[in-house]
Amino acid sequence: MKRIIYIPFDHLHPKYGALADADPKNDLIVLVESARMVTGGSWNKVRLYFLISSARHFKAELEQLGFKVLYEKAATTVDGLKAVTKDYPKLPIISAHPSSHLQSKQLAEFGVSFIENDFFLTPRNLFTSWADNQKSFLMESFYRAQRNRLGVLVEAGNPVGGKWNFDKENRLPPPKNYKYPPYLKHKADEIDQQVADELGISPCDVWGTNRKAAKAQLKNFIDNHFANFGPYEDAMTNENWALHHSLLSPYINNGLLHPGEVLTAALNAYKKGAVDIASAEGFIRQVIGWREYVNGMYWYLGADYKKSNHLNANRKLLPLFTDPSRTKMNCVKTTVSDIKTRAWVHHIPRLMILSNLALITGTNPQQFLDWMRREFIDATDWVMVPNVIGMGVHADNGKMMSKPYAAGGAYISRMSTYCKGCEYDPKLRVGDNACPFTTLYWDFLDRHKDEFVKNHRMSQQINGIKRLSDLPQLKQRAVEVLSGLDKGLI
């Protein structure tokens, strides 16, 4: 053996990262299941099931390709590598660049050498040169540059379909009397069952745990969901937990699928005429735009960015986040319950229900970030730090987003079916039946009016406060709502 190749649990692809030029004759492969990952805190067990079972399947896949693979269980990743180097003391260790600041630091200190992380479509230095030339880091500017750079949905420098962005077409509420295609179910094998037993849960058939299953999920999306993805991508309904979302982010983020192959499948479907431009653009924006932008910003903004708390939000994490029975808010109860079941909800409940609630209640950004990291199946540091600190709770003084994503009950009422079964009324901002989102939205704007009045994108909302004849009662109701949320009674 000439080298040790360390494979983090989010680099599970035999053709990318450090495995791209690996040779079974020369390379010893090491994966480490660290106790810190499994037992260090209250991780969502469905998330752990997916990550651990995928890694154990990947070990078996590499062995079939002829590699010697060591799957170490240790207190930490570095401890696992230390154990291996006792038996192979002189071998250099290489890895593709890890996906968090902390792991990069720890592995570099241990002497691991890094090669380029190619699990993204944008090398880090390319993103840095883009960001260095921006006055503000607008995702839309980055996305257009990506479309041009990658030659995706562009003709002679112009966007296919006449515009770059089909968001207006893609904001429909949930459809009525609609038949959703059945969910794709993944059958558990022996490895899955063993991991589930170790975690004390049943295998979750929503998620596959190997490359074959990931490819089946991609095909299922392209064949059965892609055409209707766009119009309903922002909708939320208790009739169907996934709508037409692809459910591909876990596989792209742990390496079982490469974003390049997802992009190719989407473009092929569009070229064949199977989907219209609005759905094609809406989905491709997520893959080549948002995902790459969020990863780029994570590295560009540095390790301390996650500590930002510009709005001085210091409320403790609300009890409803750990126990959905501690709230009567139907939208929140449904969303948190869905996360406990599958470790996943789509981007709108993440942003407009969970993050919005954390933002307008003034919940501490780091406590909320920690919760999001632990609960979601596709969460890693690079995913959650920019999405929560920058986009979700505006703790970064607008470095990423020019305005906070604060909204009252009217938005949730328009885009979901949740309000019908709720004891609160989204139209009311005062009184016992007032929707907590509606009350707290105005209270949040009022609390931060001096800050936001300087922001031209917020001035209309801030001016709206002056038209509230019942502001004193609203402020009083906000005190009651916040106290009720702290006690788990609202």
Chain-centroid distance, C-alpha 316: 22
For residue 411, the minimal CB distance to ligand SF4 (Å) is: 8
- Closer to ligand SF4 by CB, 106 or 238: give it: 238
Nearest distance in Å: CB 435, ligand SF4 = 3
Helix count and strand count (H, E) for the chain:
23, 7
Is position 418 an interface residue for ligand SF4 (rule: CB under 6 A)? Answer: yes
Q: Of 330, 356, 363, 439, which one interacts with ligand SF4 (CB under 6 A)? A: 330
Nearer CB in complex with ligand SF4: 195/435: 435
Q: How far is CA 263 from the centre of its chain?
A: 18
Q: Report the distance separating Cα 461 and Cα 334, nearest Å.
A: 28
| 329 sits near ligand SF4 (criterion: CB under 6 A) | yes
Listed ranges 51-59, 77-85, 179-187, 411-419: which one lies at the site for ligand SF4 (CB under 6 A): 411-419
Which secondary structure element, helix H or strand E, spans residue 155, and what is its range? strand 154-155
User: Cα angle at 110 between 104 and 112, to 5 degrees?
Assistant: 65
- Rounded to the nearest whole angstrom, what is the least distance from the CB of residue 329 to ligand SF4 in the complex? 4
| Closer by beta carbon to ligand SF4, 353 or else 377 | 353
Residue (289 or 436) nearer to ligand SF4, CB: 436
Q: Is 230 in the site for ligand SF4 (CB under 6 A)?
A: no
- We find the least distance from the C-beta atom of residue 419 to ligand SF4, in angstroms, to be 3
Contact residue for ligand SF4 among 280, 331, 359, 478 (CB under 6 A) = 331
* Residue the block writes with tokens 């094998």: 189
Q: Which stretch binds ligand SF4 (CB under 6 A): 221-229, 327-335, 387-395, 473-481?
A: 327-335
Q: Could you tell me which of 425, 41, 33, 308 has the C-alpha nearest to residue 198?
A: 33
How many residues comprise the chain?
Answer: 490
Listed in sequence order, the residues at least 6 apart from 25 whose beta carbon sits closer than 8 Å to its beta carbon are: none
Total interface residues for ligand SF4 by CB under 6 A = 14
Q: How far is the CB of 409 from ligand SF4 (least distance, A)?
A: 4
Applying CB under 6 A, among 130, 424, 441, 452 the residue interacting with ligand SF4 is 424
Q: Does 321 bind ligand SF4 (CB under 6 A)?
A: no
Identity at 330, one-letter amino acid code: N
Shortest Å, Cβ 481 to ligand SF4: 10
Q: Are 377 and 342 in contact (CB under 8 A)?
A: yes
Pairing mode, strands 154-155 and 158-159:
antiparallel
Q: In 265-292, which positions are buried (b, 16+ CB within 10 angstroms) versus exposed (e)?
A: bbeebbeeeebbbbbbbbbbbbbbbbbb
436 lies in the site for ligand SF4, by CB under 6 A: yes
Minimal distance in Å, beta carbon 352 to ligand SF4? 10
Angstrom distances, CA of residue 31 to CA of 4, 178, 254? 10, 45, 13
* Per CB under 6 A, 441 contacts ligand SF4: no
Which of 336, 426, 429, 452 forms a contact with ligand SF4 (CB under 6 A)?
426
Residues 7, 251, 409, 444: which binds ligand SF4 (CB under 6 A)? Answer: 409
Sole binder of ligand SF4 in the list 48, 139, 339, 435 (CB under 6 A): 435
From the centroid of its chain, how far is CA 100? 15
Give 183 or 405: the residue with its C-beta nearer to ligand SF4: 405
Q: Is 177 left (phi over 0), alpha (psi -120 to 50) or beta?
A: left
> Which residues are CB-neighbours of 58 under 8 A, at least 6 positions away?
7, 12, 31, 210
335 is a contact residue toward ligand SF4 (CB under 6 A) = no
Binding residues (CB under 6 A) for ligand SF4: these are: 329-331, 409, 412-413, 418-419, 422, 424, 426, 435-437
